[in-house]
């Protein structure tokens, strides 16, 4: 997939700012998200579907847990899950301990599509980082993504520990 020229449907990227580089980080993150979306188009997935598949790859989950982890309302998760179930990428299962609750899990087809999507996103990001001046700069770009991954994981664990401390073991179920 070739890089799209500006004005041909591609996001031209974040504007430069004079704020020491930090003022535009939100715009850089939004631009990066757009590049992930472009990569996902080859796997026929939306960013929201990709996020759900990624969470379910870690472990099965009920809708309320997915909604919290995705920072969306439960009806939004239901709509996303409905589409993934219709495509055979996710399956619904009754929770043994509470038959009123429904668990969601990846199917083998879901794992295959997720792997294809991961490869497509990696290819898109590699195409972009290949334009950097040298391999060390390319490595720093990926190191930055790994640092954000670590920050997200630590943030999630901290929030979970705070909920448990405030609500007891029930807080972990949310």
Domains of the chain in sequence order:
29-131 (1.10.10.10), 134-174 (no CATH)
Long-range (24+ apart) CB contacts under 8 A made by 5-12 are 10/38, 11/35
Give the whole-number percent of the chain exceeding pLDDT 70. 83
pLDDT(5) > 60: no
Residue range 58-110, pLDDT digits in tens? 887 888 888 888 888 888 899 999 999 999 999 998 877 777 788 899 999 99
Range with top average pLDDT, 20-24, 61-65, 157-161: 157-161
Cα(69)–Cα(153) distance, integer angstroms: 11
The rounded distance, in Å, linking the Cα atoms of 98 and 139 is: 47
pLDDT of residue 6: 38
18 has a pLDDT exceeding 50: no
Give me Rg for the CA atoms of the chain.
19
Summarize pLDDT for 114-125 with one digit per residue, the tens. 999 999 999 999
**What is the predicted pLDDT for the residue at 60?**
79
DSSP codes joined into one string, 7-55: TTTB---PPP-SSTTSTTHHHHHHHHHHHHHHHHHTTT--HHHHHHHHH
The mean of the pLDDT values for the chain is: 84
Within the chain, what is the greatest distance between any pair of CA atoms? Answer: 57
Query: Can you tell me the mean pLDDT for 24-48?
Result: 93
Name the phi and psi angles at 112, rounded to 5. Answer: -65, -45
- Indicate the Cα dihedral angle 108, 87, 77, 168, nearest 10°: -20
Q: How far is CA 32 from the centre of its chain?
A: 12
Q: If pLDDT is split at 50, 70 and 90, which confidence band does 14 have?
A: low
């Amino acid at each position: 997939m070739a890089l799209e020229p500006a004005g041909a449907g591609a996001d031209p990227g974040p504007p430069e700012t004079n704020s020491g580089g930090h003022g535009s980080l939100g715009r850089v993150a939004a631009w990066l998200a757009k590049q992930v979306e472009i990569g996902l188009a080859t796997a026929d997935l939306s960013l929201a579907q990709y996020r759900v598949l990624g969470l379910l790859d870690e472990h099965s989950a009920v809708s309320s847990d997915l909604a919290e982890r995705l920072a969306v309302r439960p009806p939004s998760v239901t709509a996303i899950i409905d589409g993934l179930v219709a495509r055979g990428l996710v399956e619904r299962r009754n929770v043994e301990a509470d038959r009123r609750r429904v668990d969601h899990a990846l199917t083998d087809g879901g794992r295959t599509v997720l792997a294809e999507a991961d490869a497509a996103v990696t290819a898109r990001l590699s195409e972009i980082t290949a334009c950097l001046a040298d391999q060390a700069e390319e490595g720093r770009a990926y190191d930055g993504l790994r640092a954000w991954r670590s920050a997200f994981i630590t943030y999630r664990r901290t929030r979970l520990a705070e909920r448990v401390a405030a609500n007891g073991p029930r807080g972990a179920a949310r």
